[in-house]
Amino acid sequence: MDSFLNIKKENILVNIIECWTSYWTDRAVKYRHDSSIGHLDTEIEAAGIAVLVQKMVNADISGVTFTANPVNGNNDIVIESTYGLGESIASGIVTPDIFVLNRNGNILTKTIKPKKKGYFLKNGKNTLIDINIKNREKPSINNKILDELHSLALELEKFFNVPQDIEWAIEMDKSGKIDPSNIYILQSRPVTTLTDSLEKDNILWTRAYGDEYWADATTPLFYDVMGKMLTQYVNHEGARIMGYKDLTDTKLLKLYKSRVYFNSWVLEKAFSYYPKFARSKELLNYFPLKDQERISQYPTLLYKTLISQFLITVHDPDGMMHKTDKTYRKWAKTFIKKCEDFDKINLKTLNNNELLAIYNDIEISGIKHYQLIRYGMVSHSIATNLMIKNWLVKWLDDIMAHIMQH
């Protein structure tokens, strides 16, 4: 459900109604559906909404605690923290400090990130403020606070009897000191990113590229249809034609809790055929921060890229750069006509075999779309655009892409 921050007293009732209304947003309905919770159940443990009105914490430090590691699923305690409000993390302005503790409270790993800016509550508004230079490289919380957060996390997990995802904030006392007694628990909910042993496959799955195709929840039927096309014709068949032997049989996609994920290794390997100067930040953002520098310096397989264009000329001439657009436009006209004819059919009058024949006909016709975009999407379009964009930035300082857009 929706949360509302920085609300004045006279607007509290209005926002309570807004919070009630958010019970029926697409996101909330889908969450209950996936969790097998009835929308109108009256049982205490089932559905329903109670609005909690809390004091707005003027957070000097905020963060999240997980009582199970969301990366590998083990039972370590993971604490992320930064200066100011949590919006600094959510908006991507800062990367939080990360502390991993075992169940006894011993620190296993500690990663301190530079924190140049933070959001703070000023005059009733979230305001972005520069962090004092002397504090930027320091841990945002000390060991005393870590111990208290660790204890609170275990208490909450014990109370709810399931691993918890806990949002918290700390407000300085009147003397300007950070004290464990000033830790506010803002929210505690079950960790939703854990997977069981059947889901662990040592592959890093990413939503980054998936959003290009599936912007919202995906049904198993649509995943089967679209996934088959992308895997068989864009990935495997395209890789065979271009001579990319290491990409011809790799698992490309995964459906997990109605969301589609891409195999990041396949993306990384495909991007290795791009020259280094084409690997822009925009492209590298598909990958975790810790891997971006390595991928940017990955040896360029340019000779394979050149060979691939020759192989396309021999095995699939329609995929040549100067032919793809014209071929696609010609195909689109015939496919649109086929779709128009389909719309005129009264499907209720057809038997199962007739319906299957129509479906197979449309599916076979649609394959050509994927056989053309596999080149235009990867080499003709993305790679070319990225190269031109990088050159414009480096040579003409077109950081805001004004020239690129024209």
Instruction: Give the pLDDT confidence score for residue 294 in this predicted structure.
Output: 79
Distance, in Å, from the CA atom of 329 to the CA atom of 383, rounded to the nearest integer, reads 21
**Tally of residues, the chain:** 406
Mean pLDDT in consecutive groups of 10 residues from the start of the chain, 406 residues = 85 93 84 74 63 87 91 86 85 85 94 90 85 92 93 94 92 77 88 56 74 71 88 90 84 83 82 68 70 77 80 89 88 94 94 93 92 72 63 65 56
Question: Alpha-carbon distance 64 to 156, whole Å?
Answer: 13
Give residues with Cβ within 8 angstroms of 204, minimum separation 6.
Answer: 263, 264, 265, 288
Could you state, in order of their start, the residue ranges of all structural domains in the chain? 1-53, 54-194, 205-396
Structural contact between residues 390 and 280, judged by C-beta atoms closer than 8 angstroms: yes
Instruction: Give the SS3 label for residue 330.
Output: helix
Nearest CA to 37 out of 27, 51, 26, 48 is that of 48
Structure confidence at residue 105 (pLDDT):
93
pLDDT in the model for residue 31: 75
Distance of alpha carbon 374 from alpha carbon 235, whole angstroms: 8
Residue-level pLDDT at 402: 56
- How far CA 260 is from CA of 222, 267, 360, 385, in Å, comes to 11, 15, 24, 26
What's the pLDDT at 8?
Answer: 87
What's the CATH code, domain 54-194? 3.30.470.20
pLDDT of residue 198: 40
**Residue pair 215/260 in contact by the 8 Å Cβ criterion:** no
Question: Residue 255 in contact with residue 236, Cβ under 8 Å?
Answer: no
Question: Which pTM was predicted?
Answer: 0.49
The sign of the dihedral angle between the CA atoms of 221, 222, 228, 231 is negative
What is the reported pLDDT for 319? 85
